[in-house]
């Protein structure tokens, strides 16, 4: 496996961790002899990477990616790729709030889904090869159009991140409640939101800009529903609240039964602070 | 320790689990000989419980609770309590999405905060005794007014729950994205919200009705901030998104450093689904 990164610091770290056979300085060098190329960069940088690697790709190579948005990636990458390569965009729906070479671990994709969005007329063999790659990492694979992918991820990933970032910002701006109080009493529910609100800022800025239409559509529905709850609270309509709160429990049960979530209460978060006090990782940001 | 519950099924389960010395059928029986009475019922039922136990309380007893809202609880309980008892309302800011006698565990309050909101003129000795009770369970104790408590919890607990319930409802109502897709691809962030959206519906209905003003105030700020992000996405203002996303990371670091959150990435959720497939608990709902 040949690895490169735009950041010298990251390349150095990958060498130190030793999970690549070779670490090279440029993307063009990295792809020259590759049968499968996977671009792992923020969505907004994928067009630039495609432009850089396009002329260096060998005939018959497969080009893929891991971007969280697919229609914009197809739009930005495809024009730079030569006709003699196969383009099979991919999105592994897995990850943590951390990023960079230290954030990976062997089980990351186990039991999670990877979505492939091959363009019409793709070579079925290339699609199967990319599917096999992810399956060997433990993932399950589903194929859909880029447009449908972007709609599905807008509700299952992009909107949750936007809302999490937003509430953490709202809390940070309060004057009547101090920052120290927000932190102390975060176990009441707030801290659940801070995990995804600690995700890489560059990656997520690009996601929202690249999947604008679908995110705005889902956000519109969310705020409409929230206004309904707000009105129910103002007018004391407890039955409307109770009905929703009962319905939402069933969804969590389904997610747990499907194996996409742990059944352990509180995510299994159990250790006392004193016992689990370990250094807080300072993740590498993208582009560092 | 004497325990009671309005539900015969729950009383039976408490007897079977064996953590109470005595399980009795009525609240009046339960409190008759008690030095410390802790009412653990949904906020909307606390006035009824106070009315029931008021005449049965022995002189010098301390009455406390665990309600998530404090001003409404003081308003509803205090009038029913005789002058010869001390009233020290409490809120342990800890818990999981589960409820009922099977949901407890010994470390639940370790390192978490319990907030006391004693009325003006409370006996300092009674306040100290309730503080000691919680400290012996591993909690740290802070004292504040009921009104300030309700403002702090509106942002650290009530609004997060409302938003989580809401987005899970929004996802459930979509036609363009199937329920099966929401479940499969929930690892993109959505599943983090489903944990608190699986909390007890009765308890949470009561919280929103009882803390209406503070919740509406925080909700107003949240939607204002969300409209700002929505506009930034629509107009492609990536810098505004990036600035917020950078600021929110610092809050999570503070929460981890304070010991209120695990430093393990992804909440330490790591096991593969096959290995961790355990029966999904069906929590007892309040009032069952």
A196: nearest CB among B192, B198, B205: B192
Q: Is A240 within 8 Å of A228 (Cβ atoms)? A: yes
3-state helix, strand, coil in chain A (%, to 5): 55, 10, 35
User: DSSP per residue over chain B, as a string?
Assistant: -EE--S-HHHHHHHHHHT-SSEE-S-HHHHHTT-SEEEE-S-GGGHHHHHHHHGGGPPTT-EEEE--S-SHHHHHHHGGGS-TTSEE--EEE----S--SGGG--TTTTTT-EEEE-PPTT--HHHHHHHHHHHHHTT-EEEE--HHHHHHHHIIIIIHHHHHHHHHHHHHHH-SSS-HHHHHHTGGGTHHHHHHHTTS-HHHHHHHHHHTHHHHHHHHHHHHHHHHHHHHHHHTT-HHHHHHHHHHHHHHHHHHHHTTSS--SGGGG--S-HHHH--PPP-PPPTT-
Stronger pLDDT, A55 or B267, i.e. the higher one? A55
Query: Span A92-118, mean pLDDT?
Result: 95
Query: Are A170 and B212 a contacting pair at CB < 8 A?
Result: no
Query: Are B241 and A205 a contacting pair at CB < 8 A?
Result: yes
For chain B, domain boundaries: 2-144, 149-276
B157: nearest CB among A183, A189, A249: A189
Is pLDDT above 50 for A17? yes
Q: Is B103 within 8 Å of A265 (Cβ atoms)? A: yes
Q: Is B17 within 8 Å of B114 (Cβ atoms)? A: no
Looking at residue A275, its pLDDT comes to 40
Query: Do B2-144 and B149-276 agree at the fold level?
Result: no
| Neighbouring residues of A193: CB distance < 8 A, sequence distance ≥ 6 | A163, A164, A167, A168, B160, B163, B192
What is the number of other CB atoms lying within 10 angstroms of the CB of residue A140? Answer: 17
Task: Provide, as residue numbers in chain B, all residues whose Cβ is less than 8 Å from the Cβ of A115.
Answer: 185
* Alpha-carbon distances of A176 from A59, A160, A179, B16, B260, rounded to whole Å: 63, 26, 10, 46, 21
Q: Is A280 within 8 Å of B263 (Cβ atoms)? A: yes
Residues A235-255 have pLDDT tens digits of 999 999 999 999 999 999 999
Consecutive H or E run containing A221:
helix A212-234
Task: Measure A55 CA to nearest chain B CA, in Å.
Answer: 30
Looking at residue A269, its pLDDT comes to 80
| Neighbouring residues of A235: CB distance < 8 A, sequence distance ≥ 6 | none
User: How far apart are the C-alpha atoms of A37 and A50, rounded to whole Å?
Assistant: 11
Query: Are A160 and B190 a contacting pair at CB < 8 A?
Result: yes
Residues B96-130 have pLDDT tens digits of 999 999 999 999 999 999 999 999 999 999 999 99
**Could you give the ipTM of this predicted complex?**
0.91
Q: Is B233 within 8 Å of B245 (Cβ atoms)? A: no
Is pLDDT above 80 for A271? no
Query: Are A204 and B253 a contacting pair at CB < 8 A?
Result: no
- Give CATH superfamily name and number for A2-144: NAD(P)-binding Rossmann-like Domain (3.40.50.720)
- Give CATH superfamily name and number for B149-276: 6-phosphogluconate dehydrogenase C-terminal like domain (1.10.3660.10)
Average pLDDT, chain A: 92
């Amino acid at each position: 496996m040949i690895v490169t990164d735009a950041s010298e610091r990251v390349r150095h770290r990958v060498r130190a961790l030793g999970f690549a056979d070779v670490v090279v300085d440029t993307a063009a060098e990295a792809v020259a002899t590759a049968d499968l190329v996977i671009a792992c960069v923020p969505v907004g940088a994928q067009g630039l990477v495609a432009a850089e690697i396009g002329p260096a790709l060998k005939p018959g190579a497969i080009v893929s990616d891991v971007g969280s948005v697919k229609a914009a990636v197809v739009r930005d990458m495809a024009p730079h790729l030569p006709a003699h390569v196969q383009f099979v965009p991919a999105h592994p729906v897995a990850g943590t709030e951390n990023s960079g070479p230290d954030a990976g671990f062997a089980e990351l994709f186990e039991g999670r889904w990877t979505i492939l969005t091959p363009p019409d007329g793709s070579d079925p063999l290339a699609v199967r090869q990319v599917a096999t790659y992810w399956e060997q990492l433990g993932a399950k694979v589903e194929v859909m159009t880029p447009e449908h992918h972007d709609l599905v991820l807008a509700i299952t990933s992009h909107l949750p991140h936007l809302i999490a970032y937003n509430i953490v910002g709202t809390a940070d701006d309060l004057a009547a409640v101090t920052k120290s109080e927000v932190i102390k009493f975060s176990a009441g529910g707030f801290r659940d939101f801070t995990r995804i609100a600690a995700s890489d800022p560059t990656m997520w800025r690009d996601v929202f800009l690249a999947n604008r239409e679908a995110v705005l559509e889902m956000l519109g529905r969310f705020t409409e529903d929230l206004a309904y709850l707000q009105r129910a609270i103002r007018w004391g309509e407890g039955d409307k609240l109770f009905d929703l709160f009962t319905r939402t429990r069933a969804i969590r049960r389904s997610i747990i039964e499907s194996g996409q979530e742990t059944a352990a209460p509180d995510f299994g978060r159990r250790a006392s602070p004193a016992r689990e006090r370990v250094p807080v990782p300072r993740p590498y940001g993208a582009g560092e």
